[in-house]
Structure 1
Amino acid sequence: MISVANPQAQVVALRDEINTAIAAVLDSGIYILGPKVQQFEKEFAAFIGAPFAVGVANGTDAVRLALMALGIVVGDEVITVSHSAVATVSAITETGACPVMVDISPSHYCIDVAAIEAAITPKTRAIVPVHIYGQPADMLAIMALAERYDLKVVEDCAQAHGAAIGLQKVGTFGHAAAFSFYPTKNLGALGDGGAVVCKDAAVFDRLQCLRQYGWKTRYISDSHGVNSRLDELQAAVLSVKLKYLESGNGLRRAIAGRYSEALQHSGIIVPKIREGATHAMHLYVVQSEARTELASHLASYGVATALHYPAAIHQQAAYGQKAALSHTEYLYQRLLSLPMYPELGDAEIDQVCLGLKAWNKE
């Protein structure tokens, strides 16, 4: 069965480089916030095109600490989407702020800018747009809106490493940006990991304190902080993988092109890329009113599929919100993810396309 994601495939391809990087950390005797973390932070910031990056324990913490560093506190309202991994809303809740979930664009699946403005109240302090599946949100319009209402913006880039609008990579538009390095991401660690990218030196300083108990001086907490540190082993592995991120994203887009070609005239809606944007193609998600039947059909061809995600966040008990998110709720009955990772071989891609073309004929 061809899986939807396969992080082990990249480990196999890069095993010698990864083993060398890990051995260097083991030999160093430094395992937390050492030179490998500092090296990766500089490399990743340069890749994104931002002055600063701060490694943290995971992508959820990246969103949470970014909001905290920007001054979001208990009782503030933060506007975001229900169409995302639950981590986005969980992170907002962990700051003590109130997540306000709004609808998405039915064509690009990212946050609807008009819905943001309609949801703004005197308590609104921030917006967290999600670059879902690797599709850039409309950041120019979002930043213009944020400036008009004096709101902070934290980009959730957990699925969008390397995505761009024009020549500017996502993660450089907002006041801060959160990245996840979960193993299945376009840039994935061998465990959990995350980073916050920012442009402001004061925000960078706060983030460095926040991730380690509020320390400016070791063991002395000048402010409340948490324990959220990227370790040396993960940083070393990420430095290896970062060298292959752009080429990997190119392979993802090439695979997506083959899928979309195979689905011509099928009645299945393929991903629509925002004009002027570069999609990171973290996931290739189609839309079909016969989703269950399509998944069963592809399984008969040895092709796995997945639901990202089975229920919208506002429909889940932990974060229930009485909101009429019509586009979100409609799409959650229709979306289906196909296999997408750079190491898919030609024979595997051919097999997926064969199943897709066979669906066209049924």
Structure 2
Amino acid sequence: MSITMHRLNYFTKREVPLLDTVAQYNYLKEELQAAMNQVLESGSYIMGPAVKQFEEAVAKYCGIKHAIGVANGTDALLLTLDALGIGPGDEVITSPFTFFASAEVISQLGAVPVFIDIEADSYNIDTTKLEAAITPKTKAIIPVHIFGQPVEMDAVMELAHKYGLHVIEDACQAMGSAYKHRPVGSIGTAGCFSFFPTKNLGGYGDGGMVITNDDELAAKLRILRVHGSNPKYYHSMIGYNSRLDSLQAAMLKVKLPHLDDWNRKRRQKALVYTAQLRVTPLKLPMESQGMYVIYHLYIIQTPHRDALLRHLADHGVGSGSYYPVPLHRQQVYQPLGYGLGSLPVAEQAALGTMALPLYPEMTDEDQAYVIAVVHDFFEKRGELQ
């Protein structure tokens, strides 16, 4: 019997989730409950002191002037585009390989998303294709730091300056990652974060934030999030009801000091995966020089994705397909005319990418079991080196 099968049999069948939000809660339970009780006893549940305190903590963490809490990561993108005056007739360049919200917000304002292909290694937009997509209608670029992998921001910013474009960093999966020692989200006109429970810094419900050094933009965002009013009941804009509630802010403030340590643990576990899975034919994550990747997800790629997903599930291992349909091939965007094969790298990624379990509290034994199950899959196919 092979070494891989010995290893697989050594472990009794385990249940290893793709992620475990409860483990983190249990670790901080007393602090979180104390923070929650403080808010409940204050009676200030919307836009209270806890929100301002968390905003100040995030601004300091990112080394930036303004942090504006909103209801979720999608609203962070939407309000930023709106505050920048993006609307009907405008074009915004973004990635086709991301969560739908990155393009959805462009369309909600009547603008047109323009998709360019991605890099095969990072799954981020291919900045060498960026300039060719710029037209007189282009008003902004939304680079998406997908899976916690920073975009090549020097190239993005160079073209943005050349053509007078706004850059809204979609850092919803990347809080804590860095590009050449600069926190992602702090490089462009604005950066947008999500605090959805599964994120590296996740709350216990929805939440989002915009960061920026632009005083005027920050002021507009603070007005837009409260129905366009300043002061209350006096409306200078058509706005939104998009506020980060005090309970989420208080609990996220408890978590924020732990984020760097959690991200380091993610990176350590990613290194173990990469070292141990090199004996398989999987396409594994790569880190470019100057990039600090925080592995929101550990993404692998294989033409046998669906079979591997089933094999993992059969052995109690959680996994997920990210993303099975690229945005330019979604039904709602068919009128834009992107035919099959128009963005081949994104389309290839959509056919084969998937995530393995990765979270800070994951035990060495659980990770070893996941690796053994993956080895077993490829050994049975005769593809294990």
Which of the five TM-score ranges fits, normalised by the shorter chain?
A: over 0.9
Aligned to 2:355: 337
Aligned counterpart, 1:30: 44
| Range with greater deviation from structure 2 (343-352 or 192-201) | 343-352
Q: Is 1:353 the counterpart of 2:353 in the alignment? A: no
| Alpha-carbon contact 1:284-1:338 (below 8 Å) kept | yes
Contact 1:301–1:351 under 8 Å retained in 2 = no
TM-score, length basis structure 2: 0.92
1:248-286 Cα offsets, whole Å, 9 max, x none, are: 001111111111111112111110112211001000000
| AA in 2 matched with 1:327 | V
Q: Which residue of structure 1 lines up, in the alignment, with residue 151 of structure 2?
A: 137
Letter in 1 for 2:238: H
Select which of 160, 171, 179 maps to 1:157. Answer: 171
Unmatched 5+ stretches in structure 1:
none
Q: Secondary structure of the residue that 2:192 maps to in structure 1?
A: strand
Counterpart check, 1:198 vs 2:216: no
Q: For residue 328 of structure 1, what is the aligned residue in structure 2? A: 346
Q: Structure 1 residue 154: deviation in Å?
A: 0.1
Once residues 133 and 333 of structure 2 are traced to their aligned partners in structure 1, the CA distance between those partners, rounded to angstroms, is 17
Q: Distance in 2 between matches of 1:127 and 1:192?
A: 25
For 1:9, which of 19, 23, 42 is the aligned residue? 23
Q: Distance in 2 between matches of 1:335 and 1:341?
A: 18
Residue 41 of structure 1, aligned match among 55, 68, 72: 55
- Quote the sequence identity (%): 43
Q: Are 2:39 and 2:246, in contact at CA under 8 Å, matched by a contact in 1?
A: yes
SS in structure 2 opposite 1:224?
A: coil
C-alpha separation between the residues in 2 aligned to 1:199 and 1:234?
Answer: 24
Stretches of 4+ moved more than 6 A in 1? Answer: none
Out of 277, 297, 307, the position equivalent to 2:291 is 277
Give the conservation status (yes or no) of the 8 Å contact 2:181–2:290: no
Deviates most, 310-319 or 127-136? 310-319
1:267 to 278, 281, 287: 281
Q: Find the aligned partners of 2:271 and 2:307 in 1 and give their Cα distance.
A: 23
Supply the distance in 1 between the matched residues of 2:298 and 2:208 (Cα, whole angstroms). Answer: 23
Residue 58 (str. 1) matches residue 72 (str. 2): yes
- Residues 303-312 or 81-90, more deviating: 303-312
Structure 2 gap ranges (5+) = 1-14, 381-385
User: Quick check: which has more Rg, 1 or 2?
Assistant: 2
Which piece of structure 1 moves more, 285-294 or 240-249? 285-294
| Aligned residue number for residue 117 of structure 1 | 131
Q: Residue deviations 1:80-116, cap 9 Å, x none?
A: 0110000111111122211111111111110111222
Deviation at 1:360, TM superposition (A): 4.6
1:294-313 aligned at under 5 Å gives the runs 294-313=308-327
Q: Distance in 2 between matches of 1:114 and 1:276?
A: 18
Aligned mate of 1:88, from 99, 102, 114: 102
Structure 1 match to 2:12: none
Range 107-116 or range 297-306, more displaced: 297-306
CA distance in 1, matches of 2:320, 2:70: 28
Structural RMSD (CA): 1.2
Q: State whether residues 258 and 353 of structure 1, in contact with CA within 8 Å, keep that contact through their aligned partners in structure 2.
A: no
Q: Which residue is equivalent to 1:225?
A: 239
